[in-house]
Amino acid sequence: MLAYIVRRLLLIVPTLFGILLINFIIVQAAPGGPVDQMIARLEGLDTGGATARISGGGREVSGGDAHYRGSQGLDPDMVAQIEKMYGFDKSASERFWLMLKSYARLDFGESFFRDAKVTDLIVEKMPVSISLGLWSTLITYLVSIPLGIAKATRHGTPFDVWTSAAVVVGYAIPSFLFAILLIVLFAGGSYFDWFPLRGLTSANFAELSLGGKLLDYFWHLALPVTALVIGNFATLTLLTKNSFLDEIGKQYVITARAKGLSERQVLYRHVFRNAMLLVIAGFPAAFLGIFFSGALLIEVIFSLDGLGLLGFESVVSRDYPVVFGTLFIFSLLGLLTKLLSDLSYMLIDPRIDFDSQER
């Protein structure tokens, strides 16, 4: 197992390099970079003097004696200063190499437009995304696994048919559309005003007791988490059901029943461990999927300032340090999570040996 883990960790390096390289090439072809945006800002101003000072990540651009005069455009010296300010005075290959060297030291630079380090921005937004990802994944598993087992043991009954219809309908409704429905019904839209519409906590959160803080926290999370999980039940429920049905028909189950074991003993002592292999081992990847990519629209609708919104706004504004910094961190976590999922298979079922499969 140790050799397998070492090989997988070593493969992370070229994989990350490939991800960064491909995205870097794509970004170079996209118009409207930070230099273009700064020039557009300056072209809307008449400096009327020796210096133009534009806020951009705490930076200043000095134009010397040149200033914008209508259609004459910006002075080339000022454009050169802007390019240098954002590092675009270097070639694309040199910028990519410098980025790799910085990332090797876990230095992700500063945002172009937010006047903050990339790591500080990620840490600042992390509580929102962790809250949405963690609770959504836990609730999905706590509901889907028992429901899938119940459906497998009642296969073909009216309970199985009606629950299948319910989870498929939930899967067919987009999470953002269900979020709007929840707001209309329960957040002061048209009917009830039971839940807050903005933020992760209330304005007086710091003044509350410990119990009050917990209640306030879950009060704010109730609607966004519900909107996230409603569409995630179907896949996991049906996966659990099909895994159990597949195991129930195997010879060892028939043998266990022939020995006189009760149906409950057969189900939970013999079938459960084998049937849950795919379901439990997929938990890290499921959590990561909701954590990083599934909550963007939910964050926007409920005014939650998390990582999804940060990544989207960074791409729109061409804030390259934030874009590539989050890409590197998310890709690294994704690769480590995939390794963790593989190790979970071996922990759940020791018969699995990845080392022997690679030979």
The pLDDT score that the predictor gives to residue 353 is 62
pTM over cut 0.75 = no
Name which of 303, 306, 131, 307 is nearest 218 in CA terms: 131
What are the residues facing 197 on neighbouring strands? none
Q: Which of 260, 259, 282, 275 is nearest to 153 (CA)?
A: 275
Token pair 């690769």 in the structure block, residue: 335
Check residue 91 and give left, alpha or beta (phi > 0: left; psi -120 to 50: alpha): beta
Mention every residue, 6+ apart, whose C-beta is less than 8 A from residue 53. 60, 61, 62
Per-residue pLDDT at 18: 92
Helix, strand, or coil (residue 180): helix
User: Which domains does the chain carry?
Assistant: 9-104 (no CATH), 118-353 (1.10.3720.10)
Residue 53 tokens read as 């000072």
The ranges of the chain with pLDDT < 70 are 43-74, 189, 278, 280-294, 348-359
Residues facing 117 on adjacent strands: 110
Number of Cβ atoms within 10 Å of the Cβ of 129: 24
Query: Rounded distance, CA 279 to CA 257, Å?
Result: 25
Cβ neighbours of residue 134 closer than 8 Å, sequence gap 6 or more:
287, 291
Measured distance CA(258)–CA(291) in Å, rounded: 46
For the stretch 40-90, pLDDT in tens is 777 665 444 334 444 444 454 444 443 433 334 567 777 777 777 777 878
> For position 14, what pLDDT does the model report?
92
How far, in Å, CA of 274 to CA of 278, rounded?
9
Q: How far from chain centre, in Å, is Cα 159?
A: 34
